[in-house]
Structure 1
């Protein structure tokens, strides 16, 4: 059997899931008014945090479509690639290790990338990932980062878990930085929930990493902020 066969099988399954999610997000089917006040982020007992397509559509429909600045357009394109990178790296780890955390968070990250895609569609913006295969990106820096993180993940289970923590930490730093230049309330709502999801996923990865005897030194946020996140409870969506 070809070594890539399991990856192709998992990727095909996730691709179908993502297509279904994106279809719901773009069509707006199923989003009733009863969903408008709900959180679009569903959080599982293990900390996996996934966007509900129906609730997100209802929440977005509640916002007036405001003008999109060039900074906001660039931010959406950036976050689309970064959220997809998280999904793609975890999908590889899911083929390498039996720990369910990788497959579970891979599925969650598919909805994160789809949520950003919903915003791109809402504002009539191009998708930077259109036509690209899994694990490939428009931006060279994302491509280099993906390849380095996949290589690190292949070393061992502990290293793959550290990569998971690193990606979530990086996401938190980048989302917070992106929020500074954004005024549109619908984008901020999605970004707020992406941040909650990243903090939950960081907690989940750190829990398993600690169980495996590993440790991690934060690279993108302060040790104090990192410790406060890890030591606090799983968050619900907003």
Structure 2
């Protein structure tokens, strides 16, 4: 027994040291399959993922669960939401990729851009499941003109400084949370609700990552633009309680 303890102690210490290094580097951002702990704020949706299934619950990925759930009649709101959300997630991915090129030393942009690709894929899975069509085109190109204008404005703003770039990231995640909340009030299909709840959990994670990087690297406390203070503080507080992490 004592011998086992002596063997495990160095392993634990190495693991803790590695975790601290990743934290300081601001490296790995959560993916779309990240499970958010029970401390995740409930004020935005009032519930966890439909049916009590968290991402990856029971060993099944969200993608697998979407495949298993039956296709239900698609309302106009649900159709509109899918076509909008796939471009909004694409906007996040494209903006973060541009910012990663501008600030290659700050890993949070490239890491979260990879996660946003998973978000795009999740919505595209639903679009294909329901027989809808959309050509996502080239990076930085959008059918929705409001998103096109927003993309242009955010890239321009993010190019001014690292501070502005990190604030752009946080603002995008705020917008995702607000929009997903609005769509969740309009959709009924279980597979769509499952994906949207999962995307919202991802946005909680990403908001924490950007605001934490802003604080750690530049000493700046982020002030929410779209979320009310109570909801924002609840999300950020959960970061240090086993919830969203960088």
Instruction: Name the TM tier (shorter chain).
Output: 0.7 to 0.9
**CA shift for structure 1 position 48:** 1.8
Distance 2:136 2:129 in 1: 19
Q: Which structure's relative contact order is higher, taking Cα pairs within 8 Å and 6+ residues apart?
A: 2
Q: What displacement does 1:180 show? A: 0.7
Asked if 1:106 corresponds to 2:113, the answer is yes
Name the counterpart of 2:102. 96
Instruction: Indicate the residue corresponding to 1:194 in structure 2.
Output: 199
The structural deviation recorded for 1:46 is 4.4
Q: Aligned to 2:127, which of 105, 117, 120?
A: 120
Q: Is the CA contact 1:51–1:108 (under 8 Å) kept in the aligned structure 2?
A: no
Task: Provide the aligned C-alpha RMSD in A.
Answer: 2.0
Equivalent position SS for 2:91: helix
For residues 89 and 103 of structure 1, what CA distance do their matches in structure 2 show? 10
What number of residue pairs does the alignment pair up? Answer: 191
Unaligned runs of 5+ in 1: 1-44
Shift of 1:99: 0.6
Contact residue 49 and residue 201 of structure 1 kept, 8 A: no
TM-score (norm 1): 0.76
C-alpha distance after superposition, 1:171-215 (max 9, x if no partner)? 000000011110000000000000000000000111000111223
C-alpha distance in 2 between matches for 1:63 and 1:229 = 29
How many angstroms apart in 2 are the aligned matches of 1:159 and 1:67?
43
CA distance in 2, matches of 1:58, 1:224: 35
Q: Following the alignment from structure 2 to structure 1, what is the Cα–Cα distance between the partners of residues 145 and 71?
A: 32
1:70 matched residue in structure 2: 76
Change (3 A) 1:163 1:131: closer
Query: How many Å apart are 1:57 and its aligned residue?
Result: 3.2
Q: Offset at 1:227?
A: 1.0
Helix, strand or coil for the counterpart of 1:175?
helix
Shift of 1:51: 4.0
Q: Distance in 2 between matches of 1:207 and 1:190?
A: 26
User: Could you say which residue in structure 2 is the equivalent of 1:170?
Assistant: 175
* Partner residue in 2 for 1:36: none
Residue 137 (structure 1) aligned with residue 142 (structure 2): yes
TM-score between both structures, scaled by the size of structure 2: 0.73
Measured in 1, the distance between the counterparts of 2:180 and 2:115 equals 17
